[in-house]
Amino acid sequence: MEYHNKQIISMLKVLFMMILMIMGTQTQAQLSSDFYAESCPSLFPAVRRVMQRAVAKERRMAASLLRLFFHDCFVNGCDGSILLDDTSSFRGEKTAGPNNNSVRGFEVIDKIKSRVEKLCPGVVSCADIVAISARDSVLLLGGPRWSVKLGRRDSKKAGFSAANSGVIPSPFSTLKNLINRFKAQGLSVRDMVALSGAHTIGQANCLTFRNRIYNESNIDLSFALSRRKNCPATSGSGDNKKAPLDIGSPTRFDHSYYNQLLDKKGLLTSDQVLFNGGSTDSLVGTYSRSLNTFYRDFVRAMIKMGDIKPLTGSHGQIRRNCRRPN
Ligand code: HEM
Ligand SMILES: *[C@@H]1O[C@H](CO)[C@@H](O)[C@H](O)[C@H]1NC(C)=O
Ligand SMILES: *[C@@H]1O[C@H](CO)[C@@H](O)[C@H](O)[C@H]1NC(C)=O
């Protein structure tokens, strides 16, 4: 076959453009585990030391920091926006419905950040510190280990109304709703069920499980009765009374959460819907039987969640203080 020069040149042009486009989409949102290898080589041990101390002081702190990462990522991506404080002219995400009186761990993030700023000033983002602390949280409570991807930058704005819009799923969600919420973030049903296994650690406030323990029928009766003792039926002063999400081992990152669901002892409505005669029943069974399968899928899903819309390149900034834009 014979081509004219012009045709060859235009074909090469098209090919070149295609290569550029592929490279472009890859570099734009590409995080990597060695992102700070040269710019901040002692980052990981520095974070680990602060985390060890914080978790030794209060084991629940690991749960709180894991949840912080989830709530950061689900609102406009993993961009550290949840860390920004309210000011008279700025509304942050901290008082949005799913976060108010509930998300915690900001002081630990501050401690890590100030330590890291001393070691490598202006280099490591708050969004990445949240990601590393979530990884360390799981590890310190006996869970799986993974290599965390880094290179996110910090946003200059927060999404109060986005955080209130339902992107963070409610504990009263149906299964369909949970599936859709995760799907909207690019996460599969499998990711959703595995990530829900984070509720193998930490605590919830009475107001988030009151309806479940007084009104629902797919619940173990003795479990419901014992939960009612510390969570009054009427809303008000008892709203913030706490109960462990995993009754047996609330400070161990194991798979007992799923066994609990098989026993109809899920604390939140959104926990029990994962095992209530629907499409995710078999997966709950799988994770309850195999710790390794749960760990493998959880790690995969955490990395995927950490990839939600990161700011990279020249977008955003590296905040000096995690609580306010530079
Ligand atoms: C599937 C949808 C989810 C819903 C509806 C949900 C809802 C909740 C609620 C209502 C609480 C109790 C908050 C409080 O009363 O203060 C809670 C706690 C918690 N959530 Fe979730 N969550 C979901 C998914 C996740 C994911 C994906 C993670 C992390 C990977 C996570 C990690 C945690 C942890 C660790 C706690 C305990 C926090 C602490 O003790 O401070 N959750 N969740
Ligand atoms: C957050 O909680 C505080 C204390 O319970 C309450 O006074 C405040 O109105 C809440 N903020 C929002 C925005 O709902
Ligand atoms: C139980 O459900 C009824 C009817 O929906 C509702 O009025 C009531 O407040 C619920 N009780 C609790 C403790 O949530």
Residue 5 pLDDT > 70? no
Using the 8-state DSSP alphabet, how is residue 199 labeled? G
pLDDT at 26: 44
Domain definitions of the chain by residue range:
43-163, 175-305
List pLDDT tens digits, range 17-47.
665 555 544 444 589 999 999 999 999 999 9
Confidence of residue 11 (pLDDT cuts 50, 70, 90): low
101 lines ligand 2 (CB under 6 A): yes
Q: What is the pLDDT of residue 29?
A: 56
For the stretch 60-73, pLDDT in tens is 999 999 999 999 99
Q: Is ligand 2 within 6 A of the CB of residue 205?
A: no
The CB of 42 under 6 Å from ligand 2? The reply is: no
- Ligand 3 pocket: which of 209, 211, 213, 219 to mutate (most atoms <8 Å of CB)? 211
pLDDT at position 17 is 60
User: Is 325 known to sit in a ligand binding site?
Assistant: no
What value does the mean pLDDT of the chain take?
A: 94
Which atom of ligand 1 lies closest to the CA of 203? Answer: 40
- Ligand 1 binding pocket includes 130 (Cβ within 6 Å): no
Q: Which CATH class is domain 175-305?
A: mainly alpha
pLDDT over threshold 50, residue 288: yes
Cβ of residue 259 lying under 6 Å from some atom of ligand 1: no
Is the CB of residue 240 below 6 angstroms from any atom belonging to ligand 2? no
Q: Whose CA is nearest to atom 12 of ligand 3?
A: 211
Measured in Å, residue 105 CA sits from the centre of ligand 2 at 18
- Asked whether the beta carbons of 80 and 72 are under 8 A apart, the reply is yes
Residue 1 pLDDT > 50, yes or no?
no
Q: Which ligand is nearest to the CA of 227?
A: 3
| pLDDT score of 127 | 98
Supply the pLDDT for residue 280.
98
- SS3 of the chain: helix, strand, coil, percent, to 5: 55, 5, 40
Q: How confident is the model at residue 296 (pLDDT cuts 50, 70, 90)?
A: very high
Tokens of 255: 């798979």
pLDDT digits (tens, 9 = 90+) for 247-276: 999 999 999 999 999 999 999 999 999 999
For residue 105, which atom of ligand 1 is closest to its CA?
A: 41
The verdict on whether residue 86 carries a ligand-binding annotation is no
Binding site membership of 161 for ligand 2 (Cβ less than 6 Å): no
- For residue 204, the surrounding DSSP H or E stretch is strand 203-205
pLDDT computed for residue 21 by the predictor: 55
Q: Centre a 10 Å sphere on the Cβ of residue 184 and count the other Cβ atoms it contains.
A: 12
Is 154 among the annotated ligand-binding positions?
Answer: no
What's the average model confidence in pLDDT over 99-113? 98
d(CA 170, CA 158): 20
Would you say residue 102 has pLDDT above 70?
yes
What is the dotted CATH code of the domain comprising 43-163?
1.10.520.10
Q: What is the DSSP letter of 217?
A: S
Q: Please give the backbone phi and psi of residue 105, each rounded to the nearest 5 degrees, phi first.
A: 110, 0
Q: How far, in Å, from the CA of 73 to the mean position of ligand 1? A: 13
What DSSP character marks residue 100?
T
Ligand 2 atom with the smallest distance to the CA of 97 is 14
What positions carry a catalytic annotation? Answer: 71
CA distance 158 to 321: 15
Q: What percent of the chain has pLDDT over 70?
A: 91
- Interval between CA 140 and ligand 3 midpoint (Å): 39
Q: Which of 10-24, 153-167, 209-223 has the lowest mean pLDDT?
A: 10-24
What type of residue is 296? R
Query: Atom 13 in ligand 2: which residue has the minimum CA distance?
Result: 95
Question: Which pLDDT value is given to residue 30?
Answer: 87
For residue 3, pLDDT beyond 90: no
Output the pLDDT for position 162. 96
Consult the annotation and say whether 81 binds a ligand.
yes
Residues 169-200: tens digit of each pLDDT: 999 999 999 999 999 999 999 999 999 999 99
Residue 4, pLDDT > 90, answer: no
Structure tokens at 210: 């009151």
